Structure 1
């Protein structure tokens, strides 16, 4: 392979150490974390467990072991920590270790106990001076027993019979096995070492599942000396038609009770959507959690609820009306200060992921303050002295740990920080490459302007013209933020020589709930017009951009928008397009998805209602209302195929059960049949995303080669048989699609 890029490249992106969220001890003097590094030379991943001294900034290697994960401090300890270790045949051990000067990790580490299954989401809380409660997640069979796929008996047939909705989810077929929370105790023995008691399934016989799949983890539950609080999908609601998750509490006195007490359910009147992020107050007598009002809308505004008495169904909204109006954003990552007087959380806000502090004032009621300005916060840990430790990233920095003061007299600048990439300089990136623009919004009733990030090459020269790469985000209720990504990183394109623009069009999060909601039933309307306005504004106001050399790329909803561009005038302004896992047809794509509540909500109802027909009422209609087919029809890309003519790369993965691979194949087939230059890339082992480093490298090679050839930039690399199996594609007829007999050429 001949790589021509000299600076930040996909190889640099994918081989850079991926640092976990930092876990500080109580006073913030030491931070535990893991780094995962992939080598394209050895084709192997290396995981390191490390500790960082916040005073000296010295990072110490504790262990290099790919089976280690989720380190955390034992509560009340400054040097003793626990972590998970994956063993043979799916077994998971809990290791206890102590950071001691002059001692090796092996000398200070021992196994406290294990669970005979793959496990994750470790949480520990202190019960007494010598004992701790331990809770983790592992799968259970229908009878509540522990399930290990590696040791379970194998069936002779691979057939799966389903009799209701929700056949598969994300990238797996739904099985009888469910996630469960398991608890035990760590107790100090006479020799000073901790021993683990037997595990108890907290959810046995309850008909509940937690953490909530596919992405639920420690954010699905919390543990205190009084018990476990958790969220679970409502077992009475169909998961394909409803987002409803409820909050439950299991009261435990010793964490040895077997069987576990029956979970107590809390109700949130008028809120029928998903609940999340349950967190105990430090006194373990109260708790808070997040909840959404709509049963089919994942991107509604999160509301904070307070459980005033854990033993009673006493739930109330935490925000008062005055405070509510000051934060038109969705809180996440709830966590309390050590004294319980301040609730911290993060929220998307104008392209950033900021930390907010909510305190109670005797005179003014609840007071809300922002603690950070830039970057994107992903994890928050209050310290014992009142400061806050947090993990964040930015568009040029893949991992930063910081400590910030929280008193009103202190500035929002971090008083301590540690950047893994030295603020991007080790990658050849710098903050001055990133700026913002504001362009007219097409729907001024919700927002006057649309915010876009602009990313320029590190060697940018005034007076020189550069091609434009327009990146369209997914969701559609999502946003481009000041955050790092290993899948869609603007720096990769900027360092090829593009000016990159990432617009947060109608439907984006972090710019007010009305702006997020405005995309409903209008996928191809206001968002498309926002993109038109962005391109018009750039042409008039950014002379550094060569508007004769532009490309557009998008994934998921962004992929839908690429297909939509193909059928509309804006598509003709681009030299080439890239559609990753996008929607081709609403009937074929959205009705084959697993979470049907998503299209039913976003498009205003089910597509089988006709005002003139005498139709029976079904579950979907009751949940989402009856609508005409207007929203489904007018926003469907497949209705405009006669206008398709821009060269397009289509990428779609076989394990994408959110949007089936037939969507990508249909788009590619149309492009080929119409004689339009096109390519199709697929990964049989990837889902809606491309996560494996080797696959991701191939993805980047193909994408960059595709767009570069249309804007006059050098190919990123030579075609390489080791990178992918190019069956009659890249080199066929000099890289051009062969025109098929009897097929007309694209319209001019």
Structure 2
């Protein structure tokens, strides 16, 4: 193992980034993706690779950057299927041999349009049903927007609130789910029929999530007898309801024929009609549909519902088992090999844990993985859930693959660790600790503390306070290529990452502390935290830094208007919020709901929005006391538009505060291009070092 001398931004950003480990049906191989950027060549290589589970040997299946949606072909031992984008928007379906990656791959089908989000299901007759997502044309068929006749003008006209999302405009045509089958004839697989539109002759758009960062395949599933999916009306009545959706089911007698009926909604036995849905799954026998439901009025109160395909009614699973809702909302789930058990991930005190739950009254969940953040899990062998192949990560580990025994008879076995448990970069779990303190309203607040690997308790260090984004989010024991806590610590800083009011993973009531209190309970939690940290001898309080992104940037704005900001020597403000009422109506997500107890509009809910507005004149006057501040905002951020960052920067400049503005013309809410990310990191670290008098620790 080659150990990096220093864990620098260059090392972080040029390290291979690998995806989840997906075992072959026979449990001998792992299929995964990996991307590696070279700063010397200014090139990112994207690969699909195979690893032998027993030996750890890895082979490349393909390094074609046009390949996507690679996965095992069900009903085979080790065949791999993937989609490949071609010229002028075409898409090909390719088949490869996992046992012999060098063996010639072949084309099983081709479509004259972009398709993505591939999902597969082996059928009893030996064929394989597949579903993909693609655009719908005016004639109801699959649409290729890359061959659409180019107009002389770039004008787009919108008659509804769906205009921008993340970093792009909504497309002119809606998405639909398309299905067909693959059959094996004479030893080769091929497509057996035209693609059929599951939402044909409806106004629905499916699946939900095609513009989001999460995997859209979570929002639909296939059984032997039909397709279930989350869909939304592409013409919402108000900007507040852009993301409102529902779960639908279409029974199918054949995956090569048009749908026999229109999609039928699953009926919820509750009064809340406006809600968010995700993680749709059929039970193994296809008789039940399960999914996660979050009411519009309280979107953090995620609950798992299940219903029979015959009745179209759904019931709350945790109430059935425990007689009440869960202490911690589920994050994701899968059926555990039968219709009577589930594997569930739950965010819990800065971790994402994996547990097993039997679907019977009075059952207790069995914890399987409690450390780090579980991001994926699969049965090691198809149909056998006694052993799982689990992918996770932590603050010091970018990718850990391990075999977990669900019977708890044997210890977990590590298959592969990307960073050798941190040692590859000079990191260790001893760098990470945590503490609890008393926040506002008698709440007990959890915080991570990350120290440099060469930490010396006899010295005091410059330190960074990190209010997180969201705001309904949290700091997790997880790896990131953006705000990597271990990387920041290795620059010579102690990091304080508190999960203040609004944080998830501590119960719905704790998260709800932020409702009608954006600058209230969360800010007071930080005030109390500062008092808690005062006695710690290794924190140099003359060299304190505050840094936040998104809602974290909002909190930095709010702090600029308060006396507490005088305690900091430096600030980092990334893609945050300056003027709350204006932000609420210009963001790509115009959310109402519980945050401000009503509509997100100044004319109808002005008092509530102004209460927590950092841009109130009496607060802006205090910005003259802000420390030297680096403001970062990118032009394609439609979640927190760049005008927020420009306003914050201009306010600081007008009041004589030393400040600098960093922007990227091609980045969005996150800085994703490795070359841009390198500039981001270097600029941030140089600004911090300059304004705290160096990053070196000093004698106590």
Which TM class, normalised by the smaller chain length? over 0.9
Deviations 1:356-386 (A, max 9, x none): 211034xx54432222111101112134332
Question: What pairs up with 1:29-428 in 2 under 5 angstroms?
Answer: 29-100=28-99, 103-105=100-102, 107-213=103-209, 214-215=211-212, 216-234=215-233, 237-238=236-237, 240-242=239-241, 243-258=243-258, 261-268=261-268, 269-271=270-272, 272-294=274-296, 297-298=298-299, 300-308=300-308, 310-320=309-319, 323=322, 325=324, 327-361=326-360, 364-383=361-380, 384-385=383-384, 386-407=386-407, 409-410=408-409, 414-428=412-426
8 Å contact kept, 1:389–1:404: yes
Counterpart of 1:742 in structure 2 is none
SS class of match (2:589)? coil
Counterpart of 2:611 in structure 1 is 634
Which of 487, 492, 509 is the aligned partner of 2:487? 492
**Comparing 268-277 with 543-552, which one deviates more in the overlay?**
268-277
- 1:191, 1:501 → 2: CA distance? 59
SS class of match (1:474)? coil
**Comparing 635-644 with 182-191, which one deviates more in the overlay?**
182-191
- 1:436, 1:131 → 2: CA distance? 52
Counterpart of 1:667 in structure 2 is 648
8 Å contact kept, 2:549–2:576: yes
Deviations 1:249-298 (A, max 9, x none): 11122211135641111121323211111100111121111111225x44
SS class of match (1:76)? coil
8 Å contact kept, 1:34–1:69: no
Counterpart of 1:462 in structure 2 is 457
Unaligned runs of 5+ in 1: 611-625, 716-748
8 Å contact kept, 2:393–2:399: yes
- 1:648, 1:637 → 2: CA distance? 16
Which of 560, 563, 575 is the aligned partner of 2:569? 575
Residue 340 of structure 1 deviates from its aligned partner by 3.1
8 Å contact kept, 1:360–1:367: no
Residue 234 of structure 1 deviates from its aligned partner by 4.2
SS class of match (2:34)? strand
- 1:45, 1:128 → 2: CA distance? 41
TM-score (norm 1): 0.87
Unaligned runs of 5+ in 2: none
- 2:468, 2:550 → 1: CA distance? 8
CA 1:581–1:142 in 2, change beyond 3 Å: closer, same or farther?
farther
**Comparing 662-671 with 584-593, which one deviates more in the overlay?**
584-593
**Comparing 515-524 with 189-198, which one deviates more in the overlay?**
189-198
Residue 235 of structure 1 deviates from its aligned partner by 5.3
- 1:270, 1:27 → 2: CA distance? 46
- 1:238, 1:273 → 2: CA distance? 14
Counterpart of 1:474 in structure 2 is 469
Counterpart of 1:734 in structure 2 is none
Residue 607 of structure 1 deviates from its aligned partner by 6.4
Residue 505 of structure 1 deviates from its aligned partner by 0.4
Residue 470 of structure 1 deviates from its aligned partner by 1.3
- Mapped pair 1:606 → 2:638: no
Which of 679, 682, 688 is the aligned partner of 1:698? 679
SS class of match (2:207)? coil
- Mapped pair 1:11 → 2:4: no
SS class of match (1:459)? coil
Counterpart of 2:555 in structure 1 is 561
Which of 504, 508, 513 is the aligned partner of 1:513? 508
Residue 104 of structure 1 deviates from its aligned partner by 4.7
- Mapped pair 1:433 → 2:431: yes
**Comparing 600-609 with 172-181, which one deviates more in the overlay?**
600-609
Deviations 1:171-200 (A, max 9, x none): 222333122111111011134444453222
Counterpart of 1:738 in structure 2 is none
Counterpart of 1:587 in structure 2 is 581
Deviations 1:22-58 (A, max 9, x none): 1112343221001011111101110122112222222
**Comparing 210-219 with 658-667, which one deviates more in the overlay?**
210-219
8 Å contact kept, 1:204–1:260: no
